[in-house]
A and B are shown apart, each in its own frame.
Chain A
Amino acid sequence: MGSGVSTQHHFAFQNAEKAFKAAALIQRWYRRYMARLEMRRHCTWSIFQSIEYAGQQDQVKLHNFFSYLVDHFTPSSHNENPGTKPSGRDAGAAFGNELPESLRHLPHSLRDFLNRMFTEERSPQDSEMENCRDYESIEVPDSYTGPRLSFPLLPDHATALVEAFRVKQRLHARYVLNLLYEARKHLVQLPNINRVSTCYNEEITVCGDLHGQLDDLIFIFYKNGLPSPERAYVFNGDFVDRGKDSVEILMVLFAFMLVYPKEFHLNRGNHEDHMVNLRYGFTKEVMHKYKTHGKKILKLLQDVFCWFPLATLVDEKVLILHGGVSDMTDLEFLAKLDRHKIVSTMRCKTRKEHKKQAEKGKANQTSSAGRPSPWFLPESHSLPTSPLRPSSQKAHRAGRSSSVPCRVPLDPNELSHWVRHSVDLELERCRQQAGFPVIKEKEEPLPLASEADSEAEGRPEPTQEAWRQVVDILWSDPMAQAGCKANTVRGGGCYFGPNVTERLLQKYNLQFLIRSHECKPEGYEFCHGRKVLTIFSASNYYEVGSNRGAYVKLGPALTPHIVQFQANKATHTLTMRQRISRVGESALRALREKLFAHSSDLLVEFKKRDKDKTGLITLSDWAAAVESVLHLGLPWRMLRPQLVSSLTDNKLEYKSWLKNLAKEQFSHENIQSSLLEALYRNRSNLETIFRIIDSDHSGFISLDEFRQTWKLFSSHMNIDVTDDCICDLARSIDFNKDGHIDINEFLEAFRLVEQSCSKGYASDC
């Protein structure tokens, strides 16, 4: 009405408008902040994944190394003089690979290992059972305050066991062995594919990888309830390795399996495998916790692992298995094969040719060495340059690469056979690189041969086909693109597309697939139009705050109901911002270590881009150089602020940057830096080799063994180090100068134990 009122309105309006704009600005700012945070989270995740996959490439390299050794050193038979040139070398010469004199002698333990790995005969079942009963002679001292088990187990015992472990008690070796023995008895009766059904009101809970993280298992039981006749559980493999309580997890899982055999189910994962355990920590954990009886425990476990069922089928509709499927997956075949024969997916002993068998008779069996069937193409250098983008690689554009069929034993006297086989291998490789599919006919005769052989041999080897089928279901990963191609990142199994899933589901009249094997930020992930569910139950897998864990419940309608969790009290009090920055820290540390490990190569690349020798390069060049050396496929420009702190004129002084990286990493300045780099680069393989050499798991290897092995390894990897260097290194690692190297000492010297300490692992840290 009057001007007063309209002015009032005017001011009110202005104020409202201001408030609106202010709120909008704050929201805009906050959302951009969150977007940057999201970006950081993705980058961090990329770092962890690429480093993990790079580690898996190490596995492949190591296997190549062993194949190389076997090629050049025929595993000893009793008559062979270690000093003489085995005739296998002639075969090697066919490829022009001649070893210098200095490298012809394998360390004894490595030779033993190769023998065991590539030619081992399984001891008959009876004597194994005998050995198992050994636990009865183990005395449990009165002073022992840990949990005691008596069989048959009762539900209360299993619950008490969980509680005991929760308060950090340790189960005595006698009970461990006893429990393993009983578990084995139970597992042996189970079929390859377990069939379970949901009755009205009953729910089934499916859990994924636990990887030794006991806190997560306890959390699941706390949140979801303990196993019972009304509460069925399926644990989908990978119970061990990486985390620090793999032993305890196995004990709990076995205890409940024995108490509720109809409701509690375990599937084998790719980590239920003694060869994989050598590298990823389970072997180490057992030997650390059970110094006296560890070896016995490991031996029994080796057998128990191969008795795990391969898959679980719920209501004939939902298939649960650890890795995935392939276009060749045959459930009927899988149901019938002898799963016990597949001791490790890391090795496949050959099928001896049936004809040869008949001709030569049993006598020759022990002396002719079986050539290992390479788990992956032996000399293939067509590994992806960017592990995260397999689809872009030429090498696997078409056709599925299977493990190379290998039917010819490496009998040193049969040179023509060996050469023919080698030629086959070459042809195979060329075919694959040209993108041609593998010719199937090669495989067909094998299954037929096996039946005939079983009488002849008494302990038949797994057939190539059986082995491949099992590797596929334990190691494969789903991919978005259609088709089925070799999983070159993992070195085994395949990447399977939505059409492969669809075909399988239709063929066997299934509704969907539940698998694990891959860590997911939210603990689960649907793909292939919700026909494949990945479930991963190890929260904070890479680092505290890195990811949630999850489990899935299936009711009678079989609709999946996901439950997420993060088993670390600390993370709950952190905001997302803080969680992400913590994760970022450790990812960056790992990345800096990797950069250091490639210092020499990086310097070369930097210099290439600094033609005027100014000592400076642009950030763009820095990013390009780093990617060309590390091949991690990471967003370097985005990571740059965290990796490069000071710039001159928007350019980087690369020499001092590299020097700073080095300073962060090592404390022993007297060791030649290029050697150190090589050690860092090959650290995980070295550690695995150490554990292999340390065959009695004593924790020590001799100086000589170390030197010999390092010489072999560096020659194979084309690492340029002088003999003197190696001697110096070996001597400097032997801190107390007793001629032996303590494995943990060695790792400590290069601050490598820090990595395992930060995972809360070794109790001495």
Chain B
Amino acid sequence: MADDRSREGTETAVAEFHKKIKEAFEVFDHESNNTVDVEEEEPTGYIRFEKFLPVMTEVLLERRYRPIPEDILLRAFEVLDPAKHGFLSKEELIKYMTEEGEPFSQEEMEEMLSAAIDPESNSVHYKDYITMMVIDEN
């Protein structure tokens, strides 16, 4: 009995996911032909909806790509700031973001700096930065 209910619940959830995924896909499907281009000006690849749907459904069901909690994010910044200054210098941020992990492109770096840098001190007060980004989202 419980199994039936949970199966039904999953089925409804999947149906809802499907609608959501379809809607999101359509926002980027400019030609209404069930494909989304990977690159804007010179399309180097396409994603077809039929392939996208099952993959995305799995992702949503398994609750991957959940938003990263604020406190975890804060700790990540603190790792990069072992002296616990409470901020990172512009140069430090650039070094980490463009040399470590999955490096930023120059465009990405510039965009992040435009919002994150405090122009007077030329540094990133990451606690404030995180708070600002989170508020803006909601």
Verify that A and B bind, or say they do not. yes
Within 8 Å by CB of A25, from B16, B24, B72, B111, lies B72
Contacts of A623 in B (CB 8 A): 19
B 7-50 contacts with A by CB, 8 A? 16, 19-20, 23-24, 26-28, 30-33, 41
Known: A23-B96, A575-B114, A620-B19. A29 touches B101 (CB 8 A): no
Contacts of B111 in A (CB 8 A): 34, 575-576
Contacts of A23 in B (CB 8 A): 76, 80, 96-97, 100-101
Within 8 Å by CB of B24, from A22, A34, A638, lies A638
**A24 and chain B: residue at smallest CB distance:** B101
Alpha-carbon separation in the docked complex, A36 to B65 (Å)? 12
Interface string of A427-439 (1 = CB under 8 A from B): 0000000000000
A27 engages B97 (CB within 8 Å): yes
Known: A20-B100, A27-B102. A42 touches B79 (CB 8 A): no
A26 interfacial by beta-carbon distance below 8 Å: yes
A116 interfacial by beta-carbon distance below 8 Å: no
Interface string of B95-138 (1 = CB under 8 A from A): 01100111110001001101100000000000000000100110
Interface string of A609-640 (1 = CB under 8 A from B): 00000000000100100000000000111100
How many residues of A are counted as interface, with CB atoms below 8 angstroms from the partner's CB atoms?
Answer: 40
**B113 and chain A: residue at smallest CB distance:** A575
**A581 and chain B: residue at smallest CB distance:** B136
A46 engages B27 (CB within 8 Å): yes
A28 interfacial by beta-carbon distance below 8 Å: yes
Contacts of B61 in A (CB 8 A): none
Binding site secondary structure of chain A: helix
B59 interfacial by beta-carbon distance below 8 Å: no
Known: A33-B137, A620-B19. A635 touches B24 (CB 8 A): yes
Alpha-carbon separation in the docked complex, A32 to B97 (Å)? 15
Within 8 Å by CB of B133, from A33, A392, A481, A526, lies A33
A39 interfacial by beta-carbon distance below 8 Å: yes
- How many pairs of A and B residues are in contact by the CB < 8 Å rule? 98
Interface residues on B, range: 35 or more
Alpha-carbon separation in the docked complex, A135 to B94 (Å)? 65
- Report the minimum CB–CB distance from B19 to chain A (whole Å): 7
- Report the minimum CB–CB distance from A690 to chain B (whole Å): 37
Known: A19-B100, A27-B97. A620 touches B27 (CB 8 A): no
B24 engages A30 (CB within 8 Å): no
A 517-541 contacts with B by CB, 8 A? 526
A577 interfacial by beta-carbon distance below 8 Å: yes
A635 engages B76 (CB within 8 Å): no
Known: A27-B104, A526-B41, A635-B23. A480 touches B33 (CB 8 A): yes
Within 8 Å by CB of A635, from B27, B97, B102, lies B27
B interface list, Cβ under 8 A from A = 16, 19-20, 23-24, 26-28, 30-33, 41, 65, 67-68, 72-73, 75-77, 79-80, 96-97, 100-104, 108, 111-112, 114-115, 133, 136-137
